[in-house]
Structure 1
């Protein structure tokens, strides 16, 4: 008979009891959602030998092998480790980091995989008051829903409009999905309130009427999903890509100072307010 204490211990290792008694799913960690083809082949072989011949994807871009019998857990762990892979990803710590495909996507405004990988290497598994999920998306399309994570990052391109250079050709209006750019009586009108900072207009403009003024990352803190959800609060500044690892470090330090055991970042911000949280964060960045 498997005890609840054993089940809890296994869960802390990323080995999760199924509702089917005696069976477990083992979670294999990715690095920002990527596995090599050789790693996939090895995991497929493990699933064939010990499971039921299939792998499941998690919402945080890891893989799970379900239908592992209790007596086979140790051999499966050994096989995963021998392949140079790791299992885990649960508990009060920084969870596996998710990135969109902004690295290769036409819309990506920065290398999401590279930045996410740097942060994975630096922060994954760090012990905290509660779990913390980090997600990097490359553009305002926000495919991976960054603002529903404890810390989320969204690529931004701020543009400026020079009316004197504009020929009113309308080329920019065709790529503006937000409809912030329109032709009214054959004259370009830019509604800045509708602009989502994707930068597409500057990319297609041939006359330097729409130009990129600044490119960086918008940062959201305090988002969460689950039984109760909360959209993250956006920090005031736009941050340079190269400064994000330090920013993450300071956000986590601020969270640990202001929070208590069991609180996620969302709960801390609900309690102290985003202004107080950001004020403390900025003081740390200035030190």
Structure 2
């Protein structure tokens, strides 16, 4: 059972210098420090030099807050299980602490001995800055156990098609936009839930959120935001809708906002 207070005690007592956390756990840690000022003293007393996170994208607002509150020790990794055969690591990009504060919206640059492309539906490279599916070179990538059809769809001409959508910038940094299957198509327009989630996380009353597509008789699908409010927060649905409307294209604004006490996550915090 994850307990941020116990985590901080262990960092101090066991002299932890390096650790890895899922983004959900980092959000919990920030909340704990915010609610218990003495916890920040514990963190500063610990010899932590590097915190790596992976498993899912982290909201940009959270990435900036960890830099401000907990210091420049955060690093991000991007990868997938299918890459295990490539080397001793599942990762293909890294955003080190040197760059984390400057490009928190990205997953970093491609690691040594890896190659990453962003491709369209025909497998051709898209232009820098354009969104496409992320493909990673696969020298000995793992296929799917007793599932040759799925393996053939995923590993094409030596490239693992990740199912993640993203884009590369002029400096070679990769930004993960969302899972291809999570994309919402509303009235024929593509909407990536992560973009809406990033905006919602900027609101001071939002602790966590997730955006999903729900059926709509006119638009076929529309965004619905499931929001966990911070303790004591009373923000209402119409306020959050207006907050988002002021920051992104109107067709991306959630048509529904539902409040929850918590979001379900796996044992790894995904």
TM-score after normalising by structure 2? 0.30
Higher CA-based Rg: 1
TM-score after normalising by structure 1? 0.28
Higher helix share: 1
Higher strand share: 2
